[in-house]
A and B are shown apart, each in its own frame.
Chain A
Amino acid sequence: MKRLRTFAYFEPASVAEAAETLAAHGGAARPLAGGTDLVVDMKLGRDRPGAVVNLKRIAGLDHIAPQDGGLRIGALCRIRDIERSGAVARRHRALSMAARVLGPPGVRALATIGGNIGRASPASDMAPPLIVHGATITIEGSGGRRCTEAADLCRGPGVTSLAGDEIITSVYLPAPPVRSGTAHLKIGKRGGGTDIAIVGVAAGLVLDEEGTIAEARIVLASVGATPIRAAQAEEMLRSARPTGEAFAAAGAAAAAGTNPIDDVRASAAYRRAVTRVLVARALHDALGAIGGAPS
């Protein structure tokens, strides 16, 4: 049986206590949320923490609640709960779609949104939709509370902008603009895509009153060292009509802007090819979501 090397185990009752415990162990401590990344890494010997700080005894970090016209989601909110939330599906559709395919059901019941973005994997399923939705991330540590843009959290594979004693406590999704729609698509080795993304795409479109694209957001997973904005493709779409041709061209531009690698799941060439297709599809899907029904 795959077993875990011994570690010191803590169950802090508050954010302050968690921060203190993380600080006390320096780089040897890891925060534990759902465990679906950390425990895997520990079993595979990729991570060998001297201390594990289980955050799940801290109350109040797993709620989904309306706030200032938008939605606040606690960092310990489980992916399963996000996927089942009507509030998320209605106005933050890309996040809802991404939650549904983050992993198999038995993983989604444990995994958390904070853990997913805190892991800072380039393949993150939560990060691209959060960036498309313009989300901000609330972070707390012994130095107090601060906010950061979702796009600024991940600095590299496995590296966040968090200090050693900081944890993510919630994400805030602002109210979406009028005449906007979002979508998330992903391809993985498993049917339904419910494993690590080979390519992930979150897309958002805002139309003006004439039906022209006022703003486009395209964020890609697994084709760079962090989730990346397809800035050139976004620029092409601004002031364009939302046609199949425009989306196809955006897909091509997005693919050209990627820097994927060959790995066990796919080749760089495959990733580029799939990016082109998924971006066009995601834009089409996002367009279809404007003015209406969640999927």
Chain B
Amino acid sequence: MITVEFTLNGEERRIEADPCVTLLEALREGLHLTGAKEGCGIGECGACTVLFDGEPVVSCLVLVGDAAGRAVTTVEGLAADGALDEVQRAFVATGALQCGFCTPAMVLTVEALLGAGGPPTREAAVEALGGVLCRCGTYPKVLAVIDTLSGGAA
């Protein structure tokens, strides 16, 4: 077992973990944060996306030990006291989800894109959403969310 110290959704955490598990496994099974999903398990679909210091990473390829020292954000960290944040409210208002499986990853990707300093260009938005495979085809709606939240500049 190893000790991993990191910030999770704004809170300092110190966990004991088996070093042979991925961050995705640790989040879902150890910490019961099931927003991040296993789609492909090999980093191609993005359903496991979490943020490391504000940047999307595929948590299925991160060994839990590599969360050390990071500020990790999962979708569960967005709603303060149960109130959806601006991005989440825009997803709801726009109807930018269907089955919802990729939605945590999409929401975090949009958070990261808007948090990077914007407004993002259309090209940057499309490139960012390329990190999450959505078989339902919600991309036009998610792009509309980005457009709305960046003041229509995209």
B127 at the interface (CB under 8 A from A): yes
> With contacts A40-B43, A106-B131 known, is A6 near B61, CB below 8 A?
no
Pairwise interchain contact A36-B20, C-beta atoms closer than 8 A: no
A107 at the interface (CB under 8 A from B): yes
Number of A-B residue pairs, CB cutoff 8 Å, is 87
Of B8-16, B44-52, B84-92, which stretch is located at the interface? B44-52
Pairwise interchain contact B127-A192, C-beta atoms closer than 8 A: yes
Pairwise interchain contact A54-B22, C-beta atoms closer than 8 A: no
A134 at the interface (CB under 8 A from B): no
Q: In the assembled complex, how far is the CB of residue A41 from the closest CB belonging to chain B, in whole angstroms?
A: 9
**Could you name 7 residue pairs across A and B whose Cβ atoms are closer than 8 Å?**
A4-B20, A32-B63, A35-B66, A39-B61, A54-B65, A106-B56, A109-B52
B111 at the interface (CB under 8 A from A): no
**Majority SS of interface residues in chain B?**
mixed
Q: In the assembled complex, how far is the CB of residue A110 from the closest CB belonging to chain B, in whole angstroms?
A: 6
Q: In the assembled complex, how far is the CB of residue A96 from the closest CB belonging to chain B, in whole angstroms?
A: 15
A291 at the interface (CB under 8 A from B): no
Pairwise interchain contact A7-B38, C-beta atoms closer than 8 A: no
Pairwise interchain contact A1-B55, C-beta atoms closer than 8 A: no
Number of interface residues of A (CB under 8 A): 33
Complex: A150 Cα to B65 Cα, angstroms: 31
A105 at the interface (CB under 8 A from B): yes
Number of interface residues of B (CB under 8 A): 31
Interface-central residue, A1, A4, A6, A106, by most chain B CB under 10 Å: A106
A191 at the interface (CB under 8 A from B): yes
Pairwise interchain contact B19-A36, C-beta atoms closer than 8 A: no
Pairwise interchain contact A104-B130, C-beta atoms closer than 8 A: yes
8 Å CB contacts to A: which residues of B33-74? 38, 41-44, 46, 49, 52, 55-58, 60-63, 65-66
B2 at the interface (CB under 8 A from A): yes
Complex: A105 Cα to B38 Cα, angstroms: 17
Q: Mark A1-20, 1 if CB is under 8 A from B, else 0.
A: 11111110101000000000
Interface-central residue, B25, B28, B52, B63, by most chain A CB under 10 Å: B63
Pairwise interchain contact B55-A3, C-beta atoms closer than 8 A: no
Q: In the assembled complex, how far is the CB of residue A51 from the closest CB belonging to chain B, in whole angstroms?
A: 11
Q: Mark B96-131, 1 if CB is under 8 A from A, else 0.
A: 000000000000010000000000000000011011
Pairwise interchain contact A104-B131, C-beta atoms closer than 8 A: yes
Pairwise interchain contact B66-A106, C-beta atoms closer than 8 A: no
Complex: A44 Cα to B49 Cα, angstroms: 20
Pairwise interchain contact B42-A4, C-beta atoms closer than 8 A: no
Q: In the assembled complex, how far is the CB of residue B138 from the closest CB belonging to chain A, in whole angstroms?
A: 16
Pairwise interchain contact B22-A40, C-beta atoms closer than 8 A: no
Which residue on chain A has the smallest CB distance to residue B58? A106
> With contacts A9-B20, A107-B58 known, is A2 near B63, CB below 8 A?
no
Question: What chain A residues lie within 8 Å of B58 (beta carbons)?
Answer: 36, 104, 106-107, 110
